[in-house]
C-alpha cells in the first residue's frame, strides 16, 4: 500500500494523510528513501550553508510559545552593532558559505528598518555583491520589504507557524498584532516585492492533528512557496504555551520522527524547493540535521553568532552548540555530512530552484 502511494507522480490529500501516519519502521524508511531519491533528482547530493547571525532578541511581539517574547522579563536583551554584524558576515563570506541569514526579534520602527537597510548595503559592498542574504525579521510593510530587497537581501523566511486558524489563535495573543490575516498578507507582500519566499510550521504543537500538518503542506504548494524552514515545537518553560504543554505534548522522539516525515513529504510533494534541516532537529537528536538532510532537506544554517551572544537568543530551551565557536561547528558538520554521502557546496548561494523555475 505505502509502496503504491510512493510510486504516484502526484499525491492526493488522502495519500499525504496515510504517509504522515506511518509508524512501521520499514515503511518509514521507504518514505525517507523516496524523499532522498527526489532530492537527488532535483537538487543533487548537495548541502548549502546559510551562516546564521542572530542580531537582536528585542521583540515587540508576545507570541505565547517564544522565549524572547516581549513579556519575558528574564531575557537579557541585546542588539548587535552594525560593526558586529559586518564582522560576522565577513567571516561567513571568507569561509565560503555563499549565504547568510539575519534573524532577530520583530521590530518595525524606522530606526530598525533603516539600520537593517544600511547594514545590508554594507554587507554586499564588502562581499562584492556575492552573498545570498535571507532575512527572518517578521511582519513588515511592503515598502520595507522592497527597501531591504533593493539593499541586498534576496530571500525572506516568515513562518506561518500553523495554517489551522484556531490553533494559530491559541499560540498567539488575541490582538491586532497577532492575526492570521496579517501573516497571510505579509507572505503575499513578500512575493509581490520579489523575494524567494520561505515559510514553515512548528511540528508537534499541543492540539495539532495529522490533518493540520497535511493542510500545512498543501498550503505551501497552493502558495507556491520557494523554501521551507520548519522544525519540532520545543517547550520554553518561561512562556504561557510552554507551561500549558508540560505533560501534554508528544515525546521528543515522536516529534523528531514527525519532523522527518514532514521534511520527506514536502520534498516528495513540492520537489524543487529549498528545505532547511533546522537547529531544532539537532536539539532533539545529536544527528538531527544530518537525518533531516537524508529525509530530503538541502540547507543547513550553522550559527555564526559569537559564543557570548548565543545563550541570549533562545526561542526554546535546549538550543544546541551554545558553547561552540563558528569554525569548530563548521568543520564538525562538514565531516558529519561527508560521512552520509553529502557534499557541502561552498561559494555558491544555493538559491531555490523552484523560484527560478517559476520565473521561466
Give the CATH number for residue 316: 3.20.20.70
CB contact at 8 A, 183 and 176: no
The pTM assigned to this predicted structure is 0.96
Q: Which residue has the cell 492570521?
A: 180
- What local confidence, expressed as pLDDT, does residue 328 receive? 75
C-alpha angle 126-130-131 in degrees, rounded to nearest 5: 85
CA of residue 135 relative to chain centroid, distance: 11
| CA 259 to the chain's CA centroid | 12
Radius of gyration, CA atoms only, the chain:
19
Give the sheet arrangement for strand 299-300, strand by strand: 299-300, 46-49, 343-345
Instruction: Specify the pLDDT at position 105.
Output: 97
Q: How many domains does the chain have?
A: 1
Ranges of residues in the chain with a pLDDT under 70 are 307-325
In whole angstroms, what is the distance from residue 136 CA to residue 162 CA?
Answer: 17
Q: Which domain holds residue 287?
A: 2-359
pLDDT score of 323: 59
Predicted local distance difference test score (pLDDT) of residue 329 = 75
Answer yes or no: are the C-beta atoms of 112 and 85 closer than 8 Å: no
Amino acid at each position: 500500500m505505502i509502496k503504491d502511494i510512493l510510486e504516484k507522480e502526484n499525491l492526493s490529500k488522502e495519500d499525504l494523510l496515510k504517509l504522515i501516519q506511518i509508524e512501521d519502521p520499514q515503511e518509514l524508511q521507504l518514505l525517507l528513501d523516496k524523499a532522498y531519491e527526489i532530492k537527488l533528482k532535483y537538487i543533487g547530493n548537495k548541502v548549502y550553508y546559510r551562516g546564521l547571525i542572530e542580531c537582536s532578541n528585542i521583540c515587540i511581539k508576545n507570541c505565547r510559545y517564544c522565549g524572547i517574547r516581549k513579556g519575558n522579563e528574564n531575557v537579557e536583551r541585546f542588539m548587535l552593532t552594525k560593526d558586529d554584524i559586518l564582522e560576522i558576515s565577513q567571516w561567513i563570506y571568507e569561509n565560503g558559505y555563499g549565504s547568510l541569514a539575519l534573524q532577530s526579534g520583530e521590530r518595525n520602527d524606522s530606526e530598525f528598518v533603516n539600520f537593517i537597510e544600511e547594514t545590508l548595503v554594507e554587507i554586499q559592498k564588502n562581499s562584492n555583491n556575492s552573498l545570498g542574504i535571507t532575512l527572518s525579521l517578521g511582519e513588515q510593510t511592503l515598502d520595507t520589504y522592497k527597501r531591504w530587497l533593493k539593499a541586498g537581501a534576496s530571500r525572506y523566511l516568515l513562518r506561518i507557524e500553523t495554517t489551522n486558524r484556531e490553533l494559530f489563535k491559541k499560540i498567539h495573543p488575541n490582538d491586532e498584532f497577532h492575526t492570521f490575516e496579517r501573516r497571510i498578507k505579509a507572505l503575499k507582500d513578500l512575493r509581490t516585492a520579489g523575494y524567494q519566499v520561505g515559510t514553515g510550521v512548528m511540528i508537534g504543537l499541543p492540539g495539532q492533528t495529522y490533518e493540520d500538518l497535511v493542510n500545512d503542506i498543501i498550503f505551501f504548494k497552493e502558495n507556491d512557496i520557494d523554501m521551507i524552514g520548519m522544525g519540532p515545537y520545543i517547550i520554553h518553560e518561561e512562556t504561557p504555551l510552554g507551561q500549558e504543554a508540560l505533560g501534554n505534548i508528544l515525546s521528543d522522539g515522536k516529534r523528531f520522527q514527525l519532523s522527518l516525515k514532514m521534511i520527506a513529504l514536502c520534498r516528495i510533494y513540492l520537489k524543487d524547493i529549498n528545505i532547511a534541516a533546522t537547529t531544532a532537529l539537532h536539539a532533539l537528536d545529536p544527528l538531527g540535521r544530518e537525518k533531516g538532510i537524508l529525509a530530503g532537506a538541502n540547507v543547513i544554517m550553522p550559527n555564526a553568532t559569537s559564543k557570548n551572544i548565543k545563550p541570549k537568543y533562545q526561542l526554546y530551551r535546549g538550543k544546541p552548540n551554545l558553547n561552540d565557536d563558528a569554525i569548530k561547528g563548521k568543520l564538525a558538520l562538514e565531516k558529519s555530512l561527508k560521512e552520509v554521502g553529502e557534499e557541502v557546496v561552498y561559494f555558491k548561494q544555493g538559491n531555490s530552484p523552484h523560484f527560478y523555475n517559476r520565473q521561466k
